[in-house]
Structure 1
Amino acid sequence: MLEMTPVAADVIRRLVEGESPSAGLRLDFADGDLRVTRADGPEEGDEVVTGRFGERVFVAPGSADYLDDKVLDARTDRDGTPVFGVSRR
């Protein structure tokens, strides 16, 4: 199952702060690109990963196998925009 670093968890919490309790980020890995979007909740078939403090990540069904042994991390670019990436555990 996908894991997330404490930094990624913190960024996710900040991104969905003030939204519904079911909100989180949706990950979809397709064509070699990781797409990260804010979501109000999981779509049908999504794998739901919940962090220590309730942060939620929804993994698209076609991406679950690829992301299964990965760790989600985050950083901010020069403009303060969050940038997410995955690496092997």
Structure 2
Amino acid sequence: MAAEVINELTGQSTATDDIGLRFALAADNNSQSALELSLSEPVDGDEVVAAPAGAKVIMEPAAAQFLDDKVLDVRQDDEGNPAFAIARQEGQEGQPA
């Protein structure tokens, strides 16, 4: 389902076929890391993961390291709209981060 939502989002952009859902880490005011999502083309150093359905996920290096043991899912929010969710992959408990 996540691939379908990503394809819908990137399909709205007619700029280029290289557009994907890009994850980047950003520090907030409390020096805590937060994930930022945007529709973007990859830049040098980014890791690109393409799903069989054609969806592209682009991760800047720090985000790729953070997301290494995670899986991307889509759930519905309270209003029935799709919302991305990141969860730890099953079988990863006790693994070093």
Normalising TM by the smaller chain, what interval? 0.7 to 0.9
- Runs of 5+ consecutive residues of structure 2 not aligned to the other structure: 27-31, 90-97
Matched, 1:10 2:4: yes
Change (3 A) 1:52 1:22: same
Partner of residue 87, structure 2: 87
- CA distances 1:23-51 after superposition (whole Å, capped 9, x unpaired): 11101234342211111x10111110100
Give distance in 2, aligned partners of 1:83 and 1:29. 18
* Consecutive unaligned residues in structure 1, runs of 5 or more: 1-6
Max Rg structure: 2
Superposed, which structure 2 residues align to 1:20-59 within 5 Å? Answer: 20-30=16-26, 31-39=32-40, 41-59=41-59
After superposition, the Cα gap between the structure-2 partners of 1:21 and 1:50, relative to the gap in structure 1 and judged at 3 Å, is same
> Larger relative contact order (C-alpha < 8 A, sep ≥ 6)?
1
**2:23 partner SS:** strand
Q: How many pairs are equivalent?
A: 81
Q: Percent identity?
A: 40
- Root-mean-square deviation (CA, aligned residues, Å) is 1.7
The residue matched to 1:68 in structure 2 has which SS?
coil
TM-score by length of 2: 0.72
TM-score between both structures, scaled by the size of structure 1: 0.78
